[in-house]
C-alpha cells in the first residue's frame, strides 16, 4: 500500500512512509524559547510510533514575532535547545523537520513586549486584535535574513530540514494576502509583488540549508474571508515555489475533504462571512501545478488509514496528522497494526489524566480545553 511505501525528496532524503506528524505548538516552552522536558516527551513519544517525518512545533525567528510561548530559533542561544529537540524527534529514526514562523499582526505583544509589526497597519479579524504598525523596508529585509539564520541553526542542530510556515495567517501568509498587505512598494500590490516576501524567505532558507536538506513550505490554499487571495493566486505561488526546488508544499486545510481553509478567526469566535469554497480541490490543483517538481503534503481531518489514502488519491504524496496524534500518541502504530478500533477517540474527561497518560504538557492541556470543539473529548 502506497501509504507505507518510502518517499524520496528532491534533496535525496528518504522518508520511510507517507505519514508526517503535523506541526503542533504546545505553547509550553520556557520563556526564553528553549524547549522544556514536557515538550520533548510530547514529541518523542509521538514520533516513536513510526512517522516517516515529524514536523516540530513552530519556532519563532524573531522575538518581536512571537505568537506563542513556543520554541525559538532566533539566535545562537537557542542552538542547544534545538539540538535536544532534533534528537528527540529523530529517536525512532524518522526525519526531523523544524517549522519556523513569524507572527506579524497575530503575534502577542504580551510575549514580545513590542507593538505588533506587520506588512501594513491593518488589524487582524481576531476579536480584540490591535492594529500593527507597518514594517519598514529594512525590517522586511531583516526578517527575511532571520528566516535564513533560523534555517542555519536548524542545520547546525541536526535537523533534516525546515518547513517554512507560510500558512494560517502568520506573517508570510499576511504578505501574500491582499487583505493584510496594502503596501505600495516591492512587497505589496500586485500578485507578483505579494509573492516577493514568501519567495525571498524560501530562497533564504534554501540557501542556508544547501541542496541536501529538506526545505518545505506550508501554505493556506485560499482565504475564506471576502477579498482574500484565491486558489488561483495560491497556485501561482506554488508554481514559483516549485521553481526554487523546494522539497514539499504542505497544504493546510481544516479538513482535506471539503477544501475548507483555516479561517483567520478560527477557534477564537463564531463564524464569519465566508466566500463559497472553490469548485476545484486544492490538493488536486496543487499536485497538477507542481507536477512532481516538489512533493505535496495534505492535512486536515486525517483520522484513519482510509483518510490518508483518500488524500493520496487526490494527488498528495504525503499526509500530515495533527489532532489524531494529540489525542492518541500511539495513533500511527495502531493504524499500522490494523488496530484502528483501539484508537482513542477524544481527550479524557479529567485534566490530570490528559497530561499524564497522554504526555501532553499541562499548559497545552489548558489551551486545548479553552477552545471548545477544537479537540474531541470523551
Ligand atoms: C494543538 C495544535 C497546535 C498546532 N500548531 C501548529 C503549528 O505550530 N504550526 C502549524 O503549521 N500548524 C499547527 N496546527 C495545525 C495542525 O498542524 C493541522 O494542520 C490542523 O490541526 C489540521 O489537521 P488535523 O485535523 O490532523 O489536526 C496546530 C494544531 C493543533 C490542534
CB 43 near ligand 1, within 6 Å:
no
Residue 271 has pLDDT above 70, yes or no: no
- What average pLDDT does the segment 116-135 reach? 95
CB 173 near ligand 1, within 6 Å:
no
Whole-number pLDDT of residue 353: 84
Say if strands 248-255 and 260-261 run parallel, antiparallel, or are unpaired. Answer: antiparallel
Mean of per-residue pLDDT scores for the chain: 95
> pLDDT tens digit string along 307-343?
999 999 999 999 999 999 999 999 999 999 999 999 9
Q: Is 209 helix (H, G, I), strand (E, B) or coil?
A: helix
CB 321 near ligand 1, within 6 Å:
yes
Q: Which atom of ligand 1 lies closest to the CA of 367? A: 1
Whole-number pLDDT of residue 238: 97
CB 23 near ligand 1, within 6 Å:
yes
Percent of the chain scored above 90 by pLDDT? 85
Pocket test for ligand 1, best of 322, 324, 363, 374 (most atoms within 8 A of CB): 322
- What average pLDDT does the segment 35-42 reach? 98
Superfamily of domain 2-369: Aldolase class I (3.20.20.70)
- With cell 521553481, the residue in question is 243
**Per mean pLDDT, which range of 20-24, 249-253, 367-371 is the poorest?**
367-371
Q: What are the φ/ψ torsions at residue 260 (nearest 5 degrees)? A: -80, 115
Q: How far is the CA of 22 from the centre of ligand 1 (A)?
A: 6
Whole-number pLDDT of residue 372: 82
Across the chain, the runs of DSSP E, i.e. the strands, are 7-8, 14-15, 19-21, 53-55, 59-60, 95-101, 117-118, 133-134, 161-166, 214-219, 248-255, 260-261, 295-299, 318-321
Residue nearest to atom 30 of ligand 1 (CA): 24
- Judge whether 252 and 311 are in contact, CB under 8 Å: no
Q: Which atom of ligand 1 lies closest to the CA of 168? A: 11
Pocket test for ligand 1, best of 21, 24, 168 (most atoms within 8 A of CB): 24
Confidence class for position 234, pLDDT limits 50, 70, 90: very high
**Per mean pLDDT, which range of 126-135, 180-189, 312-321 is the poorest?**
126-135
Percent of the chain scored above 70 by pLDDT? 98
DSSP annotation string for 238-275: HHHHHHTT-SEEEEEEEETTTTEEPPSSGGGSS----P
- What average pLDDT does the segment 193-221 reach? 98
Q: Which of 223, 231, 232, 230 is nearest to 274 (CA)?
A: 223
Confidence class for position 52, pLDDT limits 50, 70, 90: very high
Q: Which atom of ligand 1 lies closest to the CA of 22? A: 17
> Whole-prediction pTM value?
0.97
Residue 270 has pLDDT above 80, yes or no: no
Amino acid at each position: 500500500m502506497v501509504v507505507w511505501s518510502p518517499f524520496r525528496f528532491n534533496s535525496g532524503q528518504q522518508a520511510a512512509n507517507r505519514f508526517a506528524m503535523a506541526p503542533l505548538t504546545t505553547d509550553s516552552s520556557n520563556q526564553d524559547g528553549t524547549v522544556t522536558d514536557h515538550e520533548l516527551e510530547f514529541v518523542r513519544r509521538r514520533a516513536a510510533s513510526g512517522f516517516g517525518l515529524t514536523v516540530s512545533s513552530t519556532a519563532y525567528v524573531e522575538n518581536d514575532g512571537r505568537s506563542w510561548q513556543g520554541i525559538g530559533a532566533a539566535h545562537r542561544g537557542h542552538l542547544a535547545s534545538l539540538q535536544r529537540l532534533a534528537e528527540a524527534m529523530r529517536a525512532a529514526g524518522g526525519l526531523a523537520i523544524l517549522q519556523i514562523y513569524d507572527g506579524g499582526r497575530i503575534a502577542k505583544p504580551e510575549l514580545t513586549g513590542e507593538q505588533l509589526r506587520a506588512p501594513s497597519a491593518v488589524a487582524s479579524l481576531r476579536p480584540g486584535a490591535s492594529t500593527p504598525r507597518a514594517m519598514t523596508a529594512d525590517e522586511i529585509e531583516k526578517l527575511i535574513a532571520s528566516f535564513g539564520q533560523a534555517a542555519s541553526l536548524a542545520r547546525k542542530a541536526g535537523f533534516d530540514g525546515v518547513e517554512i510556515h507560510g500558512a494560517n495567517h502568520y506573517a508570510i501568509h499576511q504578505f501574500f494576502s491582499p487583505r493584510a498587505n496594502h503596501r505600495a512598494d516591492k512587497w505589496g500590490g500586485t500578485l507578483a509583488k505579494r509573492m516577493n516576501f514568501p519567495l525571498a524567505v524560501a530562497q533564504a532558507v534554501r540557501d542556508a540549508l544547501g541542496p541536501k536538506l529538506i526545505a518545505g513550505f506550508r501554505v493556506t490554499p485560499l482565504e475564506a474571508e471576502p477579498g482574500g487571495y484565491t486558489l488561483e493566486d495560491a497556485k501561482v505561488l506554488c508554481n514559483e515555489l516549485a521553481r526554487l526546488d523546494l522539497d514539499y508544499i504542505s497544504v493546510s486545510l481544516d479538513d482535506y475533504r471539503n477544501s475548507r481553509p483555516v479561517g483567520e478567526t478560527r477557534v477564537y469566535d463564531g463564524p464569519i462571512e465566508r466566500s463559497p469554497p472553490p469548485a476545484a480541490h486544492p490538493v488536486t490543483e496543487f499536485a497538477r501545478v507542481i507536477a512532481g517538481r516538489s512533493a505535496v503534503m495534505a492535512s486536515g481531518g486525517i483520522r484513519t488509514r482510509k483518510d490518508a489514502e483518500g488524500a493520496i488519491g487526490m494527488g498528495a504524496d504525503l499526509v500530515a496528522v495533527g489532532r489524531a496524534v494529540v489525542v492518541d500518541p500511539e495513533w500511527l502504530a495502531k493504524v499500522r497494526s490494523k488496530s484502528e478500533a483501539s484508537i482513542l477517540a477524544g481527550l479524557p474527561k479529567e485534566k490530570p489524566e490528559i497530561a499524564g497518560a497522554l504526555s501532553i504538557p499541562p499548559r497545552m492541556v489548558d489551551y486545548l480545553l479553552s477552545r471548545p470543539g477544537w479537540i474531541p473529548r470523551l
